[in-house]
Amino acid sequence: GQNIDQPTEMTATEGAIVQINCTYQTSGFNGLFWYQQHAGEAPTFLSYNVLDGLEEKGRFSSFLSRSKGYSYLLLKELQMKDSASYLCAAPYLGGGYQKVTFGTGTKLQVIP
């Protein structure tokens, strides 16, 4: 099975850096996704890590440690528009299909 844990809520200040952690336990590893979801909208893809290390993409970076079952999403130079839920998700093979299990999401509030 798949089990994903991440904090429920976080608050950070505009312009600052915030790190959102995710721990996972999966039967077979097929990478890890991070998605951003604004209230009332569908998730949008942020990153996909399959190898250990940090991958940087503009203000957002994602880190993976397969041995520790741990990932984090790093958001730099926070902007008000970054207030959203951030979902950690793990793909897995189920019934012959590649499916995805989502964590409950971390609701980030950026304050002035």
**Residues contributing to the site for other proteins (CB under 8 A):** 30-31, 33, 40-45, 48, 50, 87, 91, 94-95, 97-105
Return all residues near 49 (Cβ < 8 A) that are at least 6 apart.
31, 32, 55, 62, 63, 64, 71
Smallest gap from residue 22 Cβ to other proteins (A): 12
Compare residues 13 and 27 and give the one whose CB is closer to other proteins. Answer: 27
Compare residues 40 and 112 and give the one whose CB is closer to other proteins. Answer: 40
Task: State how far the Cα of 26 lies from the Cα of 34, in Å rounded to an integer.
Answer: 16
Structure tokens at 28: 């077979």
Compare residues 24 and 33 and give the one whose CB is closer to other proteins. Answer: 33
Return all residues near 109 (Cβ < 8 A) that are at least 6 apart.
9, 10, 11, 12, 83
Smallest gap from residue 19 Cβ to other proteins (A): 20
Smallest gap from residue 72 Cβ to other proteins (A): 18
How many Cα atoms within 13 Å fall on the side-chain side of residue 26? 26
Smallest gap from residue 103 Cβ to other proteins (A): 6
Structure tokens at 33: 């996704």
Compare residues 14 and 42 and give the one whose CB is closer to other proteins. Answer: 42
